[in-house]
């Protein structure tokens, strides 16, 4: 099944996808869009063009597991995306993924603007990788 993961942001939104065998999660792009309806339309265009069958959206909960304002924003985005795409949308806990992605990129020489431009796609890839591990364990 082809699955897309989204790391939703106010300005930049990271997108990752996996192959149909659900073996490899890869970064696809970063969408720079501040308008939510524009972002949803862009994601829907990618979903259609890539024959995506499911979407995993990073759910930014607090460290104690509670949902804050940011998590509720993402929940609203996911709900609107579900209406637009008619696909199954899974909210996936993304705690500490941005911190880990930044450390990974820094360790590999990505600094400053170069890191900022790709970190969201790396986070989306990490979210998708964790979700794929979960699915594999469920089968």
The chain-wide mean pLDDT, for the chain, equals 86
The number of domains in the chain is: 1
The DSSP annotation for 24-56 comes to -EEEEEEEE---HHHHHHHHHHHHHHHT--EEE
Would you say residue 105 has pLDDT above 90? no
CATH number at residue 88: 3.30.420.140
Q: In this structure, what DSSP letter does residue 124 have?
A: H
The whole-model pTM stands at: 0.85
* Burial label, 75 (beta-carbon count in 10 A; 0-12, 13-18, 19+): middle
DSSP assigned state of 4: E
The pLDDT tens digits for 65-84 are 777 788 899 999 999 999 99
Q: Indicate the helix (H) or strand (E) that contains 73.
A: helix 69-85
The boundaries of the domain holding residue 71 are 3-138
């Amino acid at each position: 099944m082809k699955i897309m993961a989204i790391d939703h942001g106010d300005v930049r939104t990271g997108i990752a996808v996996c192959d149909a065998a659900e073996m490899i999660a890869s970064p696809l792009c970063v969408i720079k869009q501040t308008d939510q309806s524009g972002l949803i339309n862009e994601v829907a265009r990618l979903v259609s063009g890539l024959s995506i069958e499911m979407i995993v959206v990073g759910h930014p909960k607090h460290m104690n597991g509670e949902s804050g304002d940011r998590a509720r924003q993402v929940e609203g985005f996911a709900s609107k995306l579900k209406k637009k795409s008619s696909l199954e949308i899974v909210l996936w806990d993304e705690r500490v993924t941005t911190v880990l992605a930044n450390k990974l990129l820094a360790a590999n020489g990505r600094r400053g603007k170069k890191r900022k431009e790709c970190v969201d796609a790396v986070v989306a890839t990490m979210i998708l990788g964790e979700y794929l591990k979960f699915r594999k364990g469920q089968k």
